[in-house]
Amino acid sequence: AIPTGVKIFNWLATLWGGALRLTAAMHYALGFIALFTIGGLSGIMHASPPVDLQQTDSYFVVAHFHYVLIGGSLSGLLAGLYYWWPKITGRRLDERLGKLQFWLFFVGFNLTFFPQHYLGAIGMPRRIYTYAAEPGWAFWNLVSTVGAFVLALSFLLLLVVAVASLRAAATAGNDPWDGRTLEWRTSSPPPVENFAALPPVYGRDTFWREKHGDRHGRRPTPAPAPPPGPSHLPSPSRLPILVAVGLVVAAAGALVSVWIVVAGLGFAVLALFRFALEHHANLAHAHQDGVTGVDHRKLGMWAFLGSECMFFGTLIAVYLAYKGRSVVGPRPHEILNIPVTTVSTFDLLMSSLLMVLALAAVRRGDDRQTRLWLAWTALLGLIFLGFQAFEFTSFVREGLTLQQNLFGSTFFVLTGFHGGHVTLGVVWLLTLAILSLRG
């Protein structure tokens, strides 16, 4: 609560020191501060046990979190929508109708949720589909219902304003608000790459200083234009949305059946595989160094490997912390097959050596050796997965499952994710081998 209170004073101080223009976006920004403050004040009192005991599970709590989530968060989002709509679409939302829409939203929201503070204070509980004929409940619920209709009308008007702006002939221009930040320096709507080259940054409010100068009227000296070069962009594709659909199906299927999970993940992997091939076919790659001076591809791989280190470091730490705390067996010393684990680990380490040989062949330009070592690396990965499948089935027969104890849960999660990574690596290597055959 203390940092949030500090932020409210930050916002007020920013407004106090600015030159306000009461646009529709500013209306929503001011409404955000007012409604979010009410939501915060109606929640901070629950730190007091007597107040919390009285108001918990009552309609007072419903009013509180709606003032935070809708009055606060949604007001801020709508302020951003009105402000950045010209940059997104190249068209401005109608200011007169936008202000009307704000007032419908503001009045409708407060009519809907402010009475619920009182309803909670006089005893109306939350999570009920109807309410008893208690004194005072019917009238204030009627007020809330009227407010909800007004709130719905405001969003209907917002939809009308948005559609009308898209059909309008007049454009907003690149910088309709005389903005300070760099997004207003590019066209509206911006090109796919945003900027053909990274714009120079001279300090805070670079774009503002370029237009109006600093407090002494001095403008920064324009930087020399960078040499033209290709923009490294992904190829346009509908396949990423299919990957997302597969993941959603898998997540929802976890509530129903494991086979739905398998089907969803299989669909996502297939779409991802197709997207990888499409990207290779449609995009002309170029060596590009970022602001770090490191090739983008190498930097991306380093970032990925760093995230993998943190991910598996967490899983290993949890396994080491909990493997010996199981209340029931089997325990690690009773079930782990050290000889099999040793052989499978050696197999996986040898696959790393073969991958190094494949990389050396790529650098020599030897396509035949590249395909050979990639295939052998993938084969050793498949052998490792066979060892892992043998271990898993043996452990299950001996009574160790994911749900059996802490050792089983942490072991199967750690090694399962490891096996999943090896599987993806095998698919990746085979994909590279196929692409090499296709030239």
pTM higher than the cut 0.85: no
Q: Give residue-wise pLDDT tens across range 359-412.
A: 899 888 888 888 899 999 999 999 999 999 999 999 999 888 888 888 988 999
Burial label for 303, CB within 10 Å (0-12, 13-18, 19+), is exposed
Report the SS3 class of residue 232: coil
- Which of 46-50, 143-147, 430-434 is predicted least confidently? 46-50
Confidence (pLDDT) at 279: 55
- From 115, 140, 167, the end of a domain falls on 167
Is 27 a member of any domain? yes
Average pLDDT over residues 227-253: 80
- From 149, 167, 185, the end of a domain falls on 167
- Which of 16-30, 127-141, 175-189 is predicted least confidently? 127-141
Distance, in Å, from the CA atom of 230 to the CA atom of 363, rounded to the nearest integer, reads: 24
CATH, residue 377 = 1.20.120.80
- From 104, 139, 167, the end of a domain falls on 167
Is 256 a member of any domain? no
Q: Give residue-wise pLDDT tens across range 2-34.
A: 777 788 888 888 888 777 889 999 999 999 999
What values do phi and psi take at 58, rounded to 5? -110, 175
Confidence (pLDDT) at 228: 60
Other beta carbons less than 10 A from residue 410's beta carbon? 22
Is 210 a member of any domain? no
Distance, in Å, from the CA atom of 318 to the CA atom of 414, rounded to the nearest integer, reads: 9
Q: Supply the angle between the helices 406-438 and 258-282 in degrees, to the nearest 10.
A: 30
Cis bond leading into 49, ω under 30°? no
Q: Give residue-wise pLDDT tens across range 298-329.
A: 888 899 999 999 999 999 999 999 888 888 87
Is 264 a member of any domain? no
Does residue 99 register a pLDDT over 60?
yes
User: How sure is the predictor about 216, in pLDDT bands with cuts at 50, 70 and 90?
Assistant: confident
Other beta carbons less than 10 A from residue 255's beta carbon? 8
| Residue the block writes with tokens 């008893």 | 132
| Domain carrying residue 120 | 2-167
Is 291 a member of any domain? no
CA dihedral 401, 402, 408, 413 (to 10 degrees): 140
Is 142 a member of any domain? yes
Is 238 a member of any domain? no
Q: What domain count does the chain have?
A: 2
16-54 burial code (b ≥16 CB/10 A, e <16):
eeeeeeebbbbbbbbbbbebbbbbbebbeebeeeeeeee
